Structure 1
């Protein structure tokens, strides 16, 4: 799938300033751990916990709002029988990191670029890679996806959504209303809100994910 541009990568190597040796990997979801909520004038507020991470920059305060204020309404969806080759193409052409899998008109799973890489990794840089005419690129979405996806509703508070990502080790939450899929909210959406939401309240609404959908 190729390396993602730095601005789209969910993780970044951490280098020693003097030796430039790698000291670890920073994942943007970890930043959520440093954004505790408190109250100011009756409003729930998110800010960086500088006592835990004094080197973090000063972030603007962002008043807590519901998920529908930052979610992307245009999502990438595929049927459950879509093969991995086409799923990978959707991720690349749509410029997104998550695809939602639909079956019988309802959400049945989520596939991330990490899930695709995990399905391919046993075959990368091996003899098998050049002879995989059937497997794993022909795997259907239902064999790659994460089933029973964790979801939220449009009215879910953002401060309730953030812990779900951390608790379940995921980077996206499909947004459903009744049985209808209405959007998706990602770790990046939440961090954009926490760091810029107070200054750019319409940012997440304007952003959106690429609208790519495959049908039978």
Structure 2
């Protein structure tokens, strides 16, 4: 269920700030009074842990939410297994037809034994003599340019087979690699796809579109029993501590899955991060936003 939230405005008086610092609940009781939160919840809200005894005694026990926590997705969960590939002898014109016809941006080059030898991408085919896009250098640069590099460039622009245009240095992934690691590599290397290998043999390919499809297929975890208010509070407080250093000034209360968040933050982005953390906390039904921006001194 998607959490609903709305913003409530309230004057930020000195009394109000003191109430937040003391951990007072911002939800009035039936008599209109502001009730103090139990000390245990206030201590958790301020991030104070119970002193540990020998072997971790006295440590606050963890209470996982109902339902099993899913393990991180791996490349094997999303990769394309039926990979279009070519051999070293495949003509360049045929590779171009495959890329255009199947609307893919690259094809792996494999040997007769299934080993990955290289990859040919769209970028490897944009400088070609057939379409007049090969690099043209003035005669004086040809004299100063390394002869070996000049010869290799000629092979790439005029070669007729995959072995002439492929890149042998390929960034690869493994089936056990997490999607987080795969996304880091593709982002840092500016890659659109990575061949997936088992040893040196090609077993699949993972692309940015595969990660987008994983987002589209994602569904929130289904819980056998709704989380308790205490479990929701602990979970949300952990999330808030992870996104903002202002968590000691944030007061959170939970009642039947309805969350009230009050406190002071330094920026609108920080406030938005706290609300997003609440929206991603399982079990929350609605969110009351009482967060205010810290006044900035004017010199």
What is the TM-score normalised by the length of structure 2? 0.39
Are residues 1:101 and 2:109 paired?
yes
1:148 counterpart residue number: 169
1:84 counterpart residue number: 92
Give me the whole-angstrom Cα distance separating, in 1, the residues matched to 2:177 and 2:195.
12
Are residues 1:117 and 2:126 paired?
yes
Give me the whole-angstrom Cα distance separating, in 1, the residues matched to 2:97 and 2:83.
15
Give me the whole-angstrom Cα distance separating, in 1, the residues matched to 2:130 and 2:78.
33
Shift of 1:139: 2.6
2:148 counterpart residue number: none
Give me the whole-angstrom Cα distance separating, in 2, the residues matched to 1:73 and 1:174.
10
Task: Please give the per-residue CA displacement for 1:157-211, whole angstroms capped at 9, x wherever unaligned.
Answer: 00001111122222111011123211100111112223x13149xxxxxxxxxxx
The 3-state SS of whatever aligns with 1:181 is strand
CA distance 1:150–1:83, shift in 2 (3 Å)? same
Are residues 1:160 and 2:181 paired?
yes
CA distance 1:107–1:79, shift in 2 (3 Å)? same
- Long gaps (5+) in structure 2: 1-63, 135-155, 221-299
Give me the whole-angstrom Cα distance separating, in 1, the residues matched to 2:190 and 2:205.
16
The 3-state SS of whatever aligns with 1:146 is coil
Residue 65 of structure 1, aligned match among 70, 73, 89? 73
- Cα RMSD (Å): 3.3
CA distance 1:158–1:137, shift in 2 (3 Å)? same
Report the structure number with the largest CA radius of gyration. 2
CA distance 1:143–1:43, shift in 2 (3 Å)? farther
The 3-state SS of whatever aligns with 1:77 is coil
- Long gaps (5+) in structure 1: 1-39, 45-62, 126-134, 201-216
Name the structure with the higher helix share. Answer: 2
The 3-state SS of whatever aligns with 2:81 is coil
CA distance 1:43–1:171, shift in 2 (3 Å)? farther
CA distance 1:109–1:67, shift in 2 (3 Å)? same
Task: Please give the per-residue CA displacement for 1:37-81, whole angstroms capped at 9, x wherever unaligned.
Answer: xxx97969xxxxxxxxxxxxxxxxxx8401011100111111112
- Tell me which of the two structures has the higher relative contact order, counting C-alpha pairs closer than 8 angstroms and 6 or more residues apart: 1
Give me the whole-angstrom Cα distance separating, in 1, the residues matched to 2:128 and 2:189.
20
Counterparts of 1:1-216 in structure 2 under 5 Å? 64-105=72-113, 106-119=115-128, 123-124=132-133, 136=157, 138-194=159-215, 196-199=216-219
2:233 counterpart residue number: none
Shift of 1:120: 5.8
The 3-state SS of whatever aligns with 2:79 is coil
